[in-house]
Structure 1
Amino acid sequence: MQTHLAAALGSVVLTAGTLLAAPAAGAQASAYPTTAYAPVTVGNTWTKGTITWYNRSVAVVGTHKSVSAAGPAYCRRTWAYTYDANGARLGSAGSVAADTACGTTKNFSSFVVPADVVGGAAFVRVCLDDGNLTDLLCSRPYARP
């Protein structure tokens, strides 16, 4: 009798442990929302890509184009600004120097723009800059999805 009781108790403990350790059916990490931003165009140059919305920052990745390598004023980089719900600027950041397009079309690495407030950025503007980091034209504000 003691053997059967011990075996039954062991079986119950193993089953309970398995059930407690198993993840809930259908449970998975939620993805962060993304927004494709329309091309920001100045003449024959542009930037286009995607914004990924995180809790206290956004990431921007994409492609920019320059048609001339005649100097920094003709090169292109991408820059972005984050804003809170009241329109106050939270942060800014841009593509790295190594990703500058001069007389070419170039993919730029993802860069992170801070938005260190509860809930993160409410809006983002993406700008096409020259090689001197002067904003040439900025997008309309994109609202957090």
Structure 2
Amino acid sequence: MPVTTTTHLNFRGDARQALDFYQSVFGGHTVAVTYKDAGTTQHENEADWVMWGEVAGDNGFHVMAYDVPSHLPWNQGENPFFVSVRGDDADEISALWQTLSEGSTVVRPLEAAQWAPLYGMLTDRFGVTWVLDVTAPYNG
């Protein structure tokens, strides 16, 4: 089964502007789901922030982005990105998670999420934060 990696950029309130900029540079299409869209708004002033977004082009360009909500720590100089690993086979993603998680700090366990059959986040022993998930059809 194919597995892809994508740079996942982290912002605090600027993700939509960044996605629009990258789309203007590289082409493709932009998808952005806000915290309000997902029903997960914790602070009204963050309702229109991007909970999940991407720019994907026919030329192969792909970048993901989101706005780190204020209740989570964020420092542009320390955690400006994640590496996202996506696949459509739960067993394969689970096996990758099992190996990658050795010596890591689990930020969010690999489990079902509102937006994916499996989703998890960890910071490996080298300080790189990885997001692994199983793709689900977009029904926006």
Taking structure 1 as the reference length, what is the TM-score of the superposition?
0.26
Q: Which has the larger radius of gyration?
A: 1
Taking structure 2 as the reference length, what is the TM-score of the superposition?
0.26
